[in-house]
Amino acid sequence: MKHVDYPLLTQTVAALTEGETDAVALMATVACEVHHADDRFDWTGFYRVTGPDLLKIGPYQGGHGCLVIPFSRGVCGAAARTGQVQLVPDVDAFPGHIACASSTRSELVLPVWNGAGTLLGVFDIDSDQPDAFTKDDAEALTRILAATFAAAS
């Protein structure tokens, strides 16, 4: 069972994204690197803010995702609406959970901000294992996202 080496992941993402400011290019790189860093990560990707209170699928790794998610629905919508990390040990117990994949048992969703404080979207990680994510995962990934997207447009 492979678990994330966050210091190495942080270093790798920083090296791969140095000088890049395009949000979609950054999202594609982060989704790929994070997805392959841990066996718990079954679906890893971004939903981008594309309109008022609206998320649309961005770069991802894994099976198909939902194409459109309103801020008012699901775990991704809650992260976008509140600006807070959503750490969900059991998706079936989350009110209004949207089942984009029937295999998803737990989920971690982090808001993605640029350095100007603009919400670019959310970073969604699904696992086919229950209670797969920890507060350490949330904190390490929050730091990686903040550093990566600081100069994004």
Q: Domains in the chain, ordered, with CATH?
A: 6-149 (3.30.450.40)
pTM of the model: 0.96
The tokens for 146 are 């903040």
Each residue's pLDDT tens digit, 13-57 = 999 999 999 999 999 999 999 999 999 999 999 999 999 999 999
pLDDT-based confidence at residue 1 (cuts at 50, 70, 90)? low
**Is the confidence at residue 109, as pLDDT, over 90?**
yes
Number of H helices, E strands in the chain: 4, 6
Cα separation of the two ends of the chain: 36
Each residue's pLDDT tens digit, 45-97 = 999 999 999 999 999 999 988 999 999 999 999 999 999 999 999 998 988 88
